[in-house]
Structure 1
Amino acid sequence: MDSSRILLPLDALSTLAGLYFIYHLFWRHFSKQPARAPLAPGPLGWPVVGNAFRLPQVKHWLTYHRWSKTYGDVLRLTSYGETTIILGSARAASDLLDRRGIIYSDRPPSALAGEIVGWNHGLGYARFSPSASAPIAKPSATSPYPIYSDARFRALRKLFHNTIGPRASTRADLSAMQDRARGKLLRQLLDAGQLDANGTDFGDTIRQASGSLILLLTYGYEVADTGHDPLVQIVEDAMAGFSRASDPDAFWVDRWPILKYLPPWFPGATFHKAARRMRHDREQLYDVPFAYVREKLRQDEASPSIVSDFLSANKSSGEGSSAEEDLIKAAAADFLYASRKTPSSLLSFLLAMLLYPDVQRRAQAELDAVLGPPSSDGGCRLPAVSDRDNLPYLSALVKEVWRWNPSVPLGLAHRVTQDDIYRGFLIPEGATIYANIWAILHDEATYPSPSTFQPERFLDANGKLRPLSKTDDPGWVAFGFGRRICPGMFLAENSVFLYIASILYVYDISKARDVDGSEVEPEVEYTGFISHPMPFKCRLLPRTKEANELICRY
């Protein structure tokens, strides 16, 4: 092959990249000289690159928390001309993302997760921008929900509100689905625990059971009780890709979007290979369960679900378009993402019970006092969401699970759509904004001894739940702020309460043992953008013979 035919595109790409760099640098630094207010403080950066070489690669929230202690709860970072603001307190996050949400609810463009992998179809990367300067798509007769449009954002939010919003989450049919998923989880924990008397890693069991509820709700799909379920695997693969693609600074193409035009064979363009795999997994998640519902409807065998109701309604009305089907596919996948907090939270709960056995015993005593201990007469029952008002300590325990190690400690990024002044500092248009949820929930002024798992911090002197503002309540803060708050929070909160209460009612949770019979101390170590504890083993034993019978009955 003639080498000159290769060198030309390489030279052209190098020149293009260089011109883009110069344009980007000069436009960001010199086209808008903010003179009306100083910028927020932050660590000193280098010329041109800013803080790029100091930005953390893992556990960003911990580094940002440490910097916030030095520079304040409105922390500014720069990287190659891009500005990022880290909000390290509940007050700052609420002031901007809640009270000024009209200009803080957009998403920054995402070259990898959004454009290349395709998560921009869903709510996570949907744009929201009333500012005329924001380049977002406009609806039309042929495309009512274009990618990156306010119309798409609003339509997706409406779907969430109508299906798993605060009122919808109390529906009898949804409660029945939760009961079925809860019973399946308890039985699967029993089966898994019998595999090794010294201890079991229950991570896969919990993820399978958690996925079971949302798949039943969304697609009417019943996960197999035993063995490997192919649809659950599709969900796991796609969500792992979402987590990786959404990790800040994981891929250079997000900092330099022009890199997306590099051919896959170009040196350093290895992100293309990872993106192809992630896109394939995302498309499988969109298409395979949707096709399953279509086929079940054709056979007149479809169970009630969000997707089957949508398809049935559109079929009977003669409506339905590819744009609407794309929207429901994206919303259904978003439901699955919204459910990812549940397995992370349940594993955190198990870990906390191993480290704080007194908490476990107190919660079990409260359950027994309200429900009566499991008995052989068949008159006892598992806890219900409606018992929550009578279980203040257990309710406080669930809040502490949300707080102790939040599932999404940094959350997805916001973008401000116009210049804003806060506390005398300029937050420039286009800046990326993160609420450091982990730092907010570990604020020593609000939560003394924040590393300690301590449910009683939410109780008053009489043992009742203390009144909490939204910014002090982990049940709100852990799900984000403003218009970008997780729309699946009500379903997740009910499910986690139900699962935790039920596990405590029928099981004793204890540390795994080694070959010598000594207890194995678990390590508190979390990883991932969707943060979850590193694998650990524990033992789950039915509290009594009657508890074992109750598990099998459900």
Structure 2
Amino acid sequence: MLNTPYLLAIPVLLVIYSLCGYILRRPRQTLSYPPGPKGLPIIGSFFDMLTPRTEHDAQWAIYRDMGNMYRSDVLHIDILGDHTVVLNSAKAAEELLERRSGIYSSRPTMHMANESGWGFNFGTMPYTSWWRLHRRTFHQYFRSDAIAAYHPCIRQATSRLLRSLSSIQSTTMVTQYDDLHTIVRQHAASIILYITYGISEQEDIDAFVELVNNAAESINATINRGSFMVDYFPLLRYVPAWFPGAHFKRKALHWSQFTSELVNKPWKQLRASISSGTALSCFGTKCLQKLDLTFNAADATEDTSDLGVSKTDSDTRIEEVIRNCAGTAYIAGSDTSVSLVIISVLVLSHHPEIQAKAQEELDRVLGSATQLPDFSDRGNLPYVEAVFKELMRMYPSVPLGVTHYSVADDVYEGYFIPKGTTVVGNAWAILHDENLYPDPLTFNPDRFLRTEPQRGAPPAKHSLNPDPELYAFGFGRRSCPGKHLALDTSWLVLACLLATCNITRISSDSTEPDSKEIDPIAHFTDGAVLHPKPFKCCITPRSAGAFELMKSGYEV
């Protein structure tokens, strides 16, 4: 049993650490910080962290309201000398995170995420040569011009999704949230598992979907820096899990088991299939083949400049990069696409008039219940595309993105931003900025339709309603490298659902107001990735022909 002096030493050490950190991090400068809560001397806004939040306190909305309070699109929050700057406008985000990306492309150390086993995720790594090697390895197989090679896999998975929905409709009219969530997660996971590891057997897919379900909770809870106090007090990492109040440590230990399985189990299966000669061509096999050609073949001549490594680098080290990239793709591809698809179902259930308009366009282009929409039809479906963009704008899957980190002192519009500042690009606030998107709280796909100017009218001085893709997938050098796969996957599901189904809402509460608009806070969970709270709806085939299309899919 630990004696009393030892127990008292921990809080004393934390206080000393905090004071030292405050003194060391306090910059000597004359310019003021951006507006924000003043907080208390030394501890700053520390006690704001401890204030319990209700289910209606989404972080992106708190930051938006804070910006309105201080009448500034750039906010500053200080916690024990640890600085956070929040960017609530496209202007600020583009200037700092895009144009000054040399300063703002790193990541802060995310202690709770690392304690929970997410150190392999190159999306949260600092900007180093190690990160650049990961990004380069990943990018060559997931850039925009590489995604067309995955379209057959996406079509096949979408066929399975439609068949699963048709099976539900043959037994019941109401689609339960849990059933829908299971079907959509199966769809997303089957695509990324095949592309990344060559996994195609349903039994394996089911097992690995369960891994994602177990691991997703921890990344959603830890990736927003500051969600746990250890992010501000790194010394807490050394507190034993049994210590009173160390619930975060126990959570991290529990979560790290799932995280380890997520990154290691499918990789070991890929390695085993390569050894047995049964491996399918995929991201993992292609990268490992290049590694073998580069380092193991005596007469290898393949150019390896795109891997960014020299012949003296260790095979094991490079294999770790490939494994990390595969694991990052696995978790990211199995969650963000799920978010966008389920949000689409929820929103469309509230807007039958938008469904009808999109279905009229689909019938006109494809014929009523004669074929499913395909990627080649995308350019001929501007209203479906507009619905897709408005879904991304109104309900961005990652509303706060992933935090950036400044590696040098900087000045923006007269405000001082010190080196070592955590910088948050508030995508939700940007995508709901009425200066960019008039009437931003109304779901209105028409805002993204091109309209020809009237004859004799002067050309527009500026364009409103920029493509939400600019802000929904991060900024600068740290924008999401898997966005092209996520966009193509989600678009095809949306288009197929609109072509074959009518989606109607079922109110679970008779007192619920009959409103078309969805409260972006009350109807969603708070976390790194936006997910709707459970809801009920009816997804019914539009006709007998549409029902047959759902059962056959693209495999006719």
Deviates more, 1:203-212 or 1:193-202: 193-202
Aligned partner of 1:215: which letter? Answer: L
Contact 2:504 2:538 in 1 (8 A): yes
In the alignment, structure 1 residue 256 sits paired with structure 2 residue 253: no
Could you tell me which of 251, 264, 268 is aligned with 2:245?
268
In the alignment, structure 1 residue 229 sits paired with structure 2 residue 229: no
- Cα deviation per residue 1:458-509 (whole Å; 9 max; x = unaligned)? 113359xx99989921122100111110111111111111111111111111
Q: CA deviation at 1:316?
A: 5.5
- Cα deviation per residue 1:491-546 (whole Å; 9 max; x = unaligned)? 11111111111111111111237799x99989641112211111111111111111
Q: CA deviation at 1:65?
A: 0.2
Q: How does 1:245-324 map to 2 (within 5 A)?
A: 245-315=222-292, 319=296, 321-324=315-318
- SS of the residue aligned with 1:167? helix
> For 2:524 and 2:474, how far apart are their aligned partners in 1?
19
> For 1:547 and 1:471, how far apart are their aligned partners in 2?
34
Could you tell me which of 364, 367, 372 is aligned with 2:367?
372
Q: CA deviation at 1:121?
A: 2.2
Counterpart residue number, 1:546:
545
Aligned partner of 1:154: which letter? Answer: R
Deviates more, 1:397-406 or 1:319-328: 319-328
In the alignment, structure 1 residue 39 sits paired with structure 2 residue 33: yes
In the alignment, structure 1 residue 21 sits paired with structure 2 residue 4: no
Q: TM-score, normalised by structure 2?
A: 0.87
Aligned partner of 2:103: which letter? Answer: I
**Structure 1 residues 73 and 486: CA distance shift in structure 2, 3 A:** same
- Cα deviation per residue 1:201-240 (whole Å; 9 max; x = unaligned)? 2122111211111111111112528x98111111222222
Contact 2:168 2:175 in 1 (8 A): no
Contact 1:161 1:168 in 2 (8 A): no
Counterpart residue number, 2:440:
450
Q: TM-score, normalised by structure 1?
A: 0.88
Counterpart residue number, 1:474:
468
Counterpart residue number, 1:429:
419
**Structure 1 residues 432 and 505: CA distance shift in structure 2, 3 A:** same
Deviates more, 1:10-19 or 1:80-89: 10-19
- Cα deviation per residue 1:409-436 (whole Å; 9 max; x = unaligned)? 1111100111101101111111110011
**Structure 1 residues 413 and 499: CA distance shift in structure 2, 3 A:** same
Q: How does 1:343-362 map to 2 (within 5 A)?
A: 343-362=338-357
Q: CA deviation at 1:401?
A: 0.8
Counterpart residue number, 2:193:
215
Counterpart residue number, 2:529:
530
> For 1:331 and 1:462, how far apart are their aligned partners in 2?
44
Contact 2:14 2:233 in 1 (8 A): no
Q: CA deviation at 1:262?
A: 1.0
**Is there any run of 5+ residues in structure 1 with no aligned partner, and where?**
129-149, 375-379
> For 2:325 and 2:462, how far apart are their aligned partners in 1?
31
Aligned partner of 1:253: which letter? Answer: V
Contact 2:44 2:79 in 1 (8 A): yes
> For 2:59 and 2:151, how far apart are their aligned partners in 1?
37
Q: CA deviation at 1:391?
A: 0.8
Q: How does 1:91-106 map to 2 (within 5 A)?
A: 91-106=91-106
**Structure 1 residues 22 and 238: CA distance shift in structure 2, 3 A:** same
Could you tell me which of 483, 486, 489 is aligned with 1:489?
483
> For 1:273 and 1:59, how far apart are their aligned partners in 2?
25
Contact 1:414 1:432 in 2 (8 A): yes
Contact 2:349 2:504 in 1 (8 A): yes
> For 2:36 and 2:328, how far apart are their aligned partners in 1?
34
Contact 1:510 1:540 in 2 (8 A): yes
> For 2:249 and 2:173, how far apart are their aligned partners in 1?
45
**Structure 1 residues 17 and 167: CA distance shift in structure 2, 3 A:** same
- Cα deviation per residue 1:116-173 (whole Å; 9 max; x = unaligned)? 2232222122111xxxxxxxxxxxxxxxxxxxxx1221111112221111111122xx
> For 2:492 and 2:452, how far apart are their aligned partners in 1?
24
Counterpart residue number, 2:311:
none
Q: CA deviation at 1:444?
A: 1.2
- SS of the residue aligned with 1:229? helix
Contact 1:475 1:493 in 2 (8 A): no
**Is there any run of 5+ residues in structure 2 with no aligned partner, and where?**
297-313, 454-459
**Structure 1 residues 295 and 348: CA distance shift in structure 2, 3 A:** same
- SS of the residue aligned with 2:3? helix
- SS of the residue aligned with 1:109? coil
Contact 1:513 1:519 in 2 (8 A): no
> For 2:365 and 2:494, how far apart are their aligned partners in 1?
15
Counterpart residue number, 1:406:
396
Q: CA deviation at 1:268?
A: 1.4
Could you tell me which of 333, 336, 355 is aligned with 2:330?
336
Contact 2:504 2:539 in 1 (8 A): yes
Deviates more, 1:313-322 or 1:254-263: 313-322
- Identity over aligned pairs, percent: 34
Contact 1:199 1:512 in 2 (8 A): no
Counterpart residue number, 2:302:
none
**Structure 1 residues 437 and 223: CA distance shift in structure 2, 3 A:** farther
Q: CA deviation at 1:25?
A: 2.4
Aligned partner of 1:162: which letter? Answer: Q
Contact 1:216 1:305 in 2 (8 A): yes
> For 1:183 and 1:535, how far apart are their aligned partners in 2?
25
Counterpart residue number, 1:139:
none
Could you tell me which of 387, 394, 402 is aligned with 2:377?
387
